[in-house]
Amino acid sequence: MDFYNGVTAEQIQSGASPIGIEAWSNQGIVGRGVLIDFASYAKRHSITGYDAAARPEISLELIKAVASESGFVAACQNKSFAEQEIISHQSPGQYPGVSGSPEMAAWLWDS
């Protein structure tokens, strides 16, 4: 029986599978996201009841509102269609992000 990308059960059982989460450690984990500072947004807009030490649920509507004030959406929208095309085909993509330093990796690991 083959799995995703033709990986066999033998590869998975031997630990030589290229599709397991353990394979990520070979090159690191890369994700994409936008930092959403809801606490500052809530303060600016007098939103009460937010407690970062609790489990507040923040709606999609609010996330979109915060993102619209972050500058990220505006920066994307201010690009021409041609610029957006170029950006969308860059590999790897060129976006703001955290440093790839050993100090950052240690902090992320330990936090």
pLDDT band at 79 (very low <50, low <70, confident <90, very high): very high
Q: Answer whether residue 15 is part of any domain.
A: yes
- Domain containing 6 equals 1-31
> Above 70 in pLDDT, residue 61?
yes
- pTM of the full structure: 0.46
pLDDT of residue 83: 92
Rounded to whole angstroms, what are the CA distances from 103 to 19, 28, 99, 107, 108?
28, 15, 9, 6, 9
Mean pLDDT of the chain, nearest integer: 80
Average pLDDT over residues 33-40: 77
Show Cβ contacts of residue 34 under 8 Å, excluding neighbours closer than 6 positions: 67, 70, 72
Q: 3-state DSSP: the chain helix, strand, coil percent, rounded to 5?
A: 50, 0, 50
22 and 49 share one domain: no
Q: Answer whether residue 102 is part of any domain.
A: no
Rounded to whole angstroms, what are the CA distances from 96 to 35, 48, 80?
10, 31, 19
Give pLDDT tens digits for 20-34: 666 666 666 656 566
| Residues 70 and 96 sit within 8 Å (Cβ to Cβ) | no
pLDDT band at 11 (very low <50, low <70, confident <90, very high): confident
pLDDT of residue 80: 94
pLDDT of residue 31: 60
58 and 83 share one domain: yes
89 and 76 share one domain: yes
